[in-house]
Structure 1
Amino acid sequence: MTPALNDEPITGVILAGGQGKRMGGLDKGLQDLHGRPMVQWVIDRLAPQVAHLLINANRNLLRYEAFGYPVIADGIPDYAGPLAGIQMALTHATTPLVATVPCDSPSLPSDLVARLARALQENCADLAVARTIEHTHPVFCLARRSLLPQLNDYLARGNRRVTSWHALLKTCDVLFDDSTGAFSNLNTAQALARHIN
C-alpha cells in the first residue's frame, strides 16, 4: 500500500548521481551485490513505498533506464552533490511530496516513507529527515515540492551543503533507533566486500 499524506501520493527518488570517489570512481549504484546491481536492491525497497519512482543519475544513463523508471540528470554540471539531485527530484516530480534515498543503502527501512510522512504531518514541517541514535541521515528525507524555489535560490548562490539547507527550513528529525543498520552506506569497495562476505 502506497503511503500518502492527507491522501497525497509521494514520489520516490534514488540519488545515484555522484562521482563515486570513495568507490575509486566507480558508479556505486551499478556495483554487484549478491548477483544484482546495488541500485536494484534499493529499488525493491523503495518502489513499494511510493506512487512514482525516479532515478537521478549523471552517467551510464542507458543502464539506469533499463531498470524501467525515468532517469533524471543534474541540472548543475560537474557533480554538484546530492542537493543537485534533490533539486531535479523536486523539479520533475508531479506529486506534492518527494522522498529521496541514496543508491548505496540496500537495506533501507521498508516503512521509511510512511514514518517520514507521518512526522511531516504531525510537525507541520517542510522536511522530515531520518535519524538514528548517533547520526542524522540527511539524504534520507521527505520534502515538500513547494521548497523548489527556495532550493533553486540556495544553489544559485553557490551553496552545496545539504545540512545547511535543512537548517533554513522547518525540519523534523524522525527517529529510527530500531533500524540503525538499515542506513549503512556501502560507499567504498571495502564496505561492499564486507557486506558480501
Structure 2
Amino acid sequence: MKQPFGIILAGGQATRMGGGDKGMRLLGGQSLLSRVEARLAPQVASIALNANGDAARFADLGMPVIADSVSGFVGPLAGVLAGMDWAAAQGADTIVTAAADTPFFPCDLVPQLLLASEGMKHPLVLAATPDAKRGRARHPTFGLWPVALRDDLRDALHDGLRKVVLWTDMHGGREALFPQEDAFFNVNTPDDLARAEAML
C-alpha cells in the first residue's frame, strides 16, 4: 500500500478555549499545530491542514490549507471528507487524520493504523486506547481513511450523519489499540493547556 497522506484537523470552533485558532496556542514556545505537524509529517507522504476561514493566517506553516466542502461546521467528518478529496486529486489511496489540539499522539500512529488495516478492501481504522470505564475508547479524529469511500461519506453528511463511529461502523471499520490511556490527550480548555505544559 502507498504511504498515506496526512491531514491535520483544525476546522472546529474551539468554543471551550474561548474561540479562535486553538492550534495556534503555544505549548513550550511552539504552537500546538507545529507540534502536531512535526509528529505527523515523518509518518506520511504529504501533509495538509483542514481549517475554515482565511487560510492566510496559517501562511507561515507552509502547508496547503483545505476548507470543509460541507458548510455549517458539521464536525470532524467534514474535515475527513475535505482531506479525502484533496488527497484523491493527487493520486493518494488513503489519508491519516490527526487533531490539531493533540500534541502527544504516538510517533507510530501511521504504522499501527496500517497494521490494523491489513486485508481490508477499504482500509478504515480508528485509534483506540484502554479506558477504565468503557474497556476501550475510540479517538475518531485519529484514523486511516480510504479515499475510495469519499462519495459515500459526502452522501452521508448531506443526509445528516455527524457521528464518526456511526459511519466507520457502517463500513466495517476496525480499531488500532494504543496501550497508553493518555496517548491522545487533547487540549480543549486553558486547564488542559496547563496540564500539557506539565506533561512536556
Q: Give TM-score, length-normalised by structure 1.
A: 0.91
Q: Does 1:121 align with 2:123?
A: no
Alignment of 1:22-171 (within 5 A): 22-93=16-87, 94=90, 95-124=92-121, 126-134=123-131, 135-171=137-173
Where does the alignment leave 5 or more consecutive residues of structure 1 unmatched? none
Q: How many residues align?
A: 190
Residue 122 of structure 1: how far off its partner (Å): 4.2
Identical positions, percent: 39
The separation in 1 between residues aligned to 2:130 and 2:172, in whole angstroms, is 21
Q: Partner amino acid for 2:190?
A: A
2:175 matches 1:173: yes
Structure 1 segments (4+ residues) deviating >6 Å = none
1:12–1:99 CA contact under 8 A, matched in 2: yes
User: Which consecutive residues of structure 2, in runs of 5 or more, have no partner in the other structure?
Assistant: 132-136
2:195 equivalent in structure 1: 194
Deviates more, 1:67-76 or 1:55-64: 55-64
Residue type of the alignment partner of 2:20: L
Check whether the contact 2:128–2:138 (CA below 8 A) recurs between aligned residues.
yes
TM-score normalized by the length of structure 2: 0.90
* Root mean square deviation of aligned Cα: 1.4
Moved more, 106-115 or 74-83: 74-83
